[in-house]
Homo-oligomer: A and B are copies of this chain.
Amino acid sequence: MQDEPVLDLAHLGHLELLTPKPDESLRFFIDVLGMTESGRQGDSVYLRGWDDYERHSLKLTASKKPGMGHMAFRARSQPALERRVAALKGSGYDIGWTDGDLGHGPAFQCRDPDGHLIELYYETEWYVAPPELKPALKNQAQRFPARGVNVRRLDHLNCLASDIRANRIFFEDYLGCRLTEQIVQNDGAEAGMWMTLTNKSYDFAFTRDHTGAKGRFHHLTYALDSREDVLRAADIFLEAGVPIESGPHKHAVQQTFFLYVYEPGGNRVEVCNAGARLILAPDWKPIVWTEEERKKGQAWGMKTVESFHTYGTPPVEDSE
């Protein structure tokens, strides 16, 4: 009989971003991206897009080097969380429980085979807007800021990994993530994967770290409503002196309309739009891209910039 899918995790909840320039990074996320500060604790500031329902989707932490502190997934229920913990315990990937953090309850920590730190949690604090940020429509978490790029909600993140296949199997088997697209080289090696927990076509992706380093971060992405919003973001980044790495253009993989920039701390940040594209099929068959197909570049022909394959945080020279 057909195995039924594990549906225990609901969605990517937030990530912790490390920055060696905390003040400038904070100004970038608030003034340029249009995010809202929703808390401070220790060396961290908690930030959110206007449509994130939880208290925060980004934890910005001062650190010697840029990179990702951890990624966090929210479980669908408390029993669902406990099932995932039970599956992880003794696997060698498990670390153990934390007491939680500002904005969410107890979290179970583990590491993927490449070493990225992952937290799973269920209890969360729903964002309650202060009076000056109350929205006009009650089905919205927070007032539209009308400031900078006005990012809506956390969309996905992307990490680098030395062994994509090992990471794929981990996320499938232990966390119930579903593969929607992947890149497989002519020699059979997996070079990239896009996985989802939702009807979005991906909640996170991993691409092969050409440097062979482990545990590095590639980018985080906030969603905008339209491609025009992404173009306007490019205008705003240009005016604000934010370095644009690549885009706006349309990816062939996942058809995301993308724009990559660097925040002051050195981490890559994307704003994107996926239009009305959703993966509704419960039995979606992963799209497999070959080397030849990827050599054609992006959807409309733009070649992928070299830095996209090599630059991650922390930079490799630092990580060795």
B-chain residues with CB within 8 Å of residue A4 when the two chains form the complex: 76-77, 79-80
Binds B, one of A59-67, A85-93, A112-120, A141-149: A141-149
Q: Taking each of A1, A10, A274, A278, which has the highest tally of chain B beta carbons within 10 Å of its own beta carbon?
A: A278
Cβ proximity bits A139-163 to B, threshold 8 Å, 1 near / 0 not: 1100110111100110100000000
B-chain residues with CB within 8 Å of residue A281 when the two chains form the complex: 10, 53-54, 126
Task: Give A203's nearest chain B residue, CB to CB.
Answer: B280
A248 on interface, CB distance cutoff 8 Å: yes
B-chain residues with CB within 8 Å of residue A249 when the two chains form the complex: 248
Distance in angstroms from A187 CB to nearest chain B CB is: 21
A39-93 residues at the B interface, CB under 8 angstroms:
51, 53-54, 74-80
A to B CB contacts below 8 Å, 28 in the list: A1-B79, A2-B77, A2-B78, A2-B79, A4-B76, A4-B79, A5-B76, A7-B7, A51-B276, A54-B281, A75-B282, A136-B241, A136-B299, A137-B252, A137-B255, A139-B252, A139-B287, A144-B236, A146-B148, A147-B147, A152-B276, A199-B199, A227-B228, A234-B300, A235-B250, A244-B300, A248-B249, A274-B276
B-chain residues with CB within 8 Å of residue A5 when the two chains form the complex: 76-77
Write the residues of chain A forming the contact surface with B, with a CB cutoff of 8 angstroms.
Answer: 1-2, 4-5, 7, 10-11, 32, 51, 53-54, 74-80, 126, 135-140, 143-144, 146-149, 152-153, 155, 181, 198-200, 223-228, 231, 234-241, 244, 247-250, 252-255, 257, 273-278, 280-285, 287, 289, 293, 299-302
Task: Give A237's nearest chain B residue, CB to CB.
Answer: B300
